[in-house]
């Protein structure tokens, strides 16, 4: 259990560093962390299923401006891990992951506040042309971010697996069934948050076109995506042709104004 806890802590640490030093490799997403947690705990199928369920819920979460979103890495790793360890399924992951993500958000805010100190230290080293000091100050914040999820995740797995299992077993079945139904509705909230950022009047017709294709034609996501790609290519070609025609017309008009008219 200790070795598994350490490996899960490393997974969480890598996830939290994804958008900080690795670029945007999507390693922080629940779909990826769920797969990795399933590999560590020996149940890849459940890991992917639970990760996909959490991905639908948190799909629209993004840090806008100075706001700090819930920590989907810690919530996703611990939620998936406890759901697999207790053998209760995705509904338990929802019960555990969402509160953990909100609590871990506060720890993330604390780390950001502490990192402000090292930012000012880096500025002082830069003023002295101390590049070694600047480099050190640049690496301290990622290490703190890593530890901020590695330590809680590892300790939670080591100390909390049995307690969490006992707590879940004590929850009445009706409550778990209700949470399962709520979990099926929560993805709609995630899509709504995502749509709120992407929605525009010009593109709304394509959203409803995809919705109608899924609802009335029975097409799956892959088929709708392929049709959407074809439509996008057709529109792109039509727009380019119109621009070319307009450009040729403008050139003809310009030629007419340059004495090219033949009065004979």
For residue 171, the 8-state DSSP code is S
- Chain segment 200-258, per-residue pLDDT in tens: 777 778 888 888 888 888 888 888 888 888 888 888 887 777 766 655 555 555 554 44
Q: How confident is the model at residue 21 (pLDDT cuts 50, 70, 90)?
A: confident
Q: How confident is the model at residue 167 (pLDDT cuts 50, 70, 90)?
A: low
Quote the tokens at residue 251.
Answer: 């050139």
Q: What is the pTM of this model?
A: 0.59
pLDDT of residue 81: 86
Cα–Cα distance measured from residue 253 to residue 164, given in angstroms and rounded to the nearest whole number = 77
**Residue for token pair 């939290």:** 16
Give the helix ranges, DSSP H, for 171-220: 173-198, 204-216
Is it the case that residue 183 has pLDDT exceeding 60?
A: no
Is it the case that residue 159 has pLDDT exceeding 60?
A: yes
pLDDT of residue 258: 47
Residues 28, 12 contacting (CB under 8 angstroms): no
* C-alpha torsion 100→105→107→113, nearest 10: 180
Cα–Cα distance measured from residue 198 to residue 95, given in angstroms and rounded to the nearest whole number = 29
Is it the case that residue 259 has pLDDT exceeding 60?
A: no
Nearest one of 117, 113, 107 to 146, comparing CA atoms: 107
pLDDT of residue 261: 47
* Alpha-carbon torsion (200, 205, 210, 212), positive or negative: positive
Task: Name the more confident of 250 and 57.
Answer: 57
Is it the case that residue 119 has pLDDT exceeding 80?
A: yes
* Alpha-carbon torsion (185, 53, 49, 93), positive or negative: negative
Candidate from 26-30, 39-43, 85-89 with smallest mean pLDDT: 85-89
Cβ contacts of residue 71 below 8 Å, gap of 6+?
Answer: 16, 100, 101, 104, 105, 107, 108, 149
Cα–Cα distance measured from residue 123 to residue 104, given in angstroms and rounded to the nearest whole number = 29
């Amino acid at each position: 259990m200790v070795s598994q806890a350490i490996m899960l802590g490393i997974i969480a640490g890598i996830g939290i560093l994804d958008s900080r030093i690795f670029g945007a490799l999507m390693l922080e997403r629940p779909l990826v962390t769920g797969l990795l947690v399933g590999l560590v705990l020996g149940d890849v199928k459940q890991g992917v299923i639970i990760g996909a369920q959490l991905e639908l819920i948190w799909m629209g979460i993004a840090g806008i401006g100075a706001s700090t979103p819930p920590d989907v890495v810690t919530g996703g790793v611990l939620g998936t891990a406890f759901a697999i360890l207790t053998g209760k399924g995705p509904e338990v992951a929802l019960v555990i992951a969402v509160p953990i993500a909100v609590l871990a958000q506060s720890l993330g805010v604390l780390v950001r506040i502490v990192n402000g100190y090292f930012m000012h230290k880096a500025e002082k080293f830069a003023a002295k042309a101390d590049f070694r000091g600047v480099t050190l100050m640049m690496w301290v914040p990622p290490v703190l971010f890593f530890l901020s999820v590695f330590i809680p995740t590892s300790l939670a797995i080591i100390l909390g697996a049995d307690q969490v299992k006992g707590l879940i077993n004590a929850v009445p079945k009706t409550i778990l069934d209700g949470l399962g139904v709520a979990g099926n509705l929560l993805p709609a909230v995630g899509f709504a948050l995502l749509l709120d950022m992407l929605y525009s009047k010009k593109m709304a017709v394509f959203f409803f076109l995809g919705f109608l294709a899924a609802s009335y034609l029975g097409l799956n996501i892959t088929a709708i995506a392929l049709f959407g790609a074809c439509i996008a290519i057709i529109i792109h070609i039509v727009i380019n042709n119109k621009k070319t025609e307009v450009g040729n017309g403008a050139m003809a008009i310009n030629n007419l104004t340059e004495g090219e008219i033949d009065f004979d």
